[in-house]
Structure 1
Amino acid sequence: MSTFDRQAMIERQDREYDECVEKMRIRHKGEMLPIVGLLVLGIFCMSLGFMLGRLV
């Protein structure tokens, strides 16, 4: 196997890997929204509890 063939195989595998990663990133992009929403809700509730605790 020549060096050129080996380099071509490596480049092809890199392209396939990059395409696979891009597909996974696009597919899982919508799954982060509920997680971020729950995180924001938790921070809001904690700050509200802290403010109410300071008032009482």
Structure 2
Amino acid sequence: MTRHPVERAFELAKSGSFSSIEDLREQLIAENFDNVHGHLVGSLRRQLIVLIAKSRQAS
């Protein structure tokens, strides 16, 4: 089963291990996801930024 980069992005954002969307993108690219920049735009990008911030505060 192939995972979608957006699904993985939300998993990573919840981990509390990333301080920015750029760090998260770099990780997705390192995990060989395609078209990372094309997937993480607009409202998805904003949701991930909020989730990263909340996860960092909680950890």
TM bin (shorter chain): 0.3 to 0.5
Q: Which has the higher helix share?
A: 1
Q: Tell me the TM-score normalised to structure 2 length.
A: 0.31
TM-score (norm 1): 0.33
Q: Which has the larger radius of gyration?
A: 1
**Greater relative contact order, per chain length (Cα 8 Å cut-off, separation 6+):** 2
